[in-house]
Amino acid sequence: MKDASPAKPYALHLGVIALLFGLSFVLPEYHHGLLARIMVLAVFAMGYNLLFGYVGLLSLGHAMFFSAGLYGAGLAVIHLGWSVPAAFAAGLACGALLALVIGLLALRTSGVAFMIVTMMFAQVFYLVILYFAAWTGGDQGMVVPQPMRVLVLGSTSLDLTNPTVRYMSALALFSIVLLISLAIVRSGYGRVLVAIRENEERTKMLGYDTFSNKLAAVVISGSICAASGAAYALLFGYVGSSFASVQYSILPLLWVLLGGAATTLGPLIGTLFMYYVIDVASGYTSAYLLIVGIALILLVLFFPRGILGSIRQRWLGWLP
């Protein structure tokens, strides 16, 4: 990526945001709700992609950052009666702090050891949630009461359970994180992250403290995933331990691989694709996971770099 004119990438990203905005007015109710959820989870995938795609660190524990946001926000509302913005901030702060601690410990390792260490920490986090069932609801989870899911802005109050408000809130979060990702990727810092992925030793010999750079990336990635979790709790009203299970550490990896690692829009495409394949397949057969599996294998065979990654490689070299 040269310091080329930023017009094309920014136009593309703003276009995607405009498209999602317009879809809100035409989509039937079912797809409208599904897309709101997909946008929130795409934020999770974008956070994961920053670390996996750009820095090349494969974590198998990102469910803990998502759940840190989910529980941070959910518990603040349910037990402390905090307002929506305060609860969102609490979720974000929990994720950032957790990411800092996990980063300091896990970044002593790399490669397979990093995968295992992050997975173990996430497992501990999961068990802690189950252990403190009195506050967390254990494996039942908790529902965030509807009256508490109201965003008061001055004299207007927005009901987050209203489908349009919910969709627009999800879109707002998605857009902010998408534009932040784009800015990071195009910045000097983004260039350093890619350099670490390509050759960490060489990057050190250019005077970069690669540990600190990686730590910052873990914290940013964890914070974005926590933002997604916090938004999930507040918009969809459910805080459950399944989101902390290993399945939710692997899902963002799949979404990112599908959409294209190290592409800014790949996480959205991957999440969207996976949800709709499941949606369509489960309409035909109860063995829909089989179809999902076949779709995944075909994709890996024909688009090894993911959907957007392959498009970038073959046709659109300027894609960020």
Minimum distance, C-beta of residue 195 to another protein, in the bound complex (Å): 5
Q: How many CA atoms lie within 13 A of 173 on its CB side?
A: 32
3-state secondary structure 34-103: HHHHHHHHHHHHHHHHHHHHHCCCCCCCCHHHHHHHHHHHHHHHHHHCCCHHHHHHHHHHHHHHHHHHHH
Note whether 7 binds another protein by CB under 8 A.
no
81-110 residues in contact with another protein (CB under 8 A) are: none
Note whether 188 binds another protein by CB under 8 A.
yes
Question: By C-beta, is 49 or 136 nearer to another protein?
Answer: 49
Give the relative orientation of helices 29-49 and 266-284 as an angle to the nearest 10 degrees.
140
Pairing of strands 142-143, 238-239: antiparallel
The values of phi and psi at residue 110, to 5°, are -150, 170
The C-alpha atoms of residue 107 and residue 286 are separated, in whole angstroms, by: 42
Query: 157 in helix, strand or coil?
Result: strand
Minimum distance, C-beta of residue 223 to another protein, in the bound complex (Å): 23
Minimum distance, C-beta of residue 54 to another protein, in the bound complex (Å): 13
Note whether 191 binds another protein by CB under 8 A.
yes
Q: Which stretch binds another protein (CB under 8 A): 106-114, 116-124, 130-138, 194-202?
A: 194-202
State the burial class of residue 160 (Cβ atoms within 10 Å of its Cβ: 0-12, 13-18, 19+).
buried
Pairing of strands 238-239, 150-153: unpaired
Question: By C-beta, is 8 or 79 nearer to another protein?
Answer: 8
198-227 residues in contact with another protein (CB under 8 A) are: 198-199, 201-210
Note whether 195 binds another protein by CB under 8 A.
yes
Q: Which stretch binds another protein (CB under 8 A): 80-88, 121-129, 187-195, 265-273?
A: 187-195
Question: By C-beta, is 112 or 205 nearer to another protein?
Answer: 205
Note whether 1 binds another protein by CB under 8 A.
yes
The C-alpha atoms of residue 269 and residue 256 are separated, in whole angstroms, by: 8
The C-alpha atoms of residue 310 and residue 304 are separated, in whole angstroms, by: 7
Note whether 154 binds another protein by CB under 8 A.
no
Minimum distance, C-beta of residue 205 to another protein, in the bound complex (Å): 6
Size of the site for another protein (CB under 8 A): 20
Note whether 319 binds another protein by CB under 8 A.
no
Note whether 311 binds another protein by CB under 8 A.
no
Note whether 3 binds another protein by CB under 8 A.
yes
Note whether 194 binds another protein by CB under 8 A.
yes
Q: Which residues bind another protein (CB under 8 A)?
A: 1-3, 188, 191-192, 194-195, 198-199, 201-210
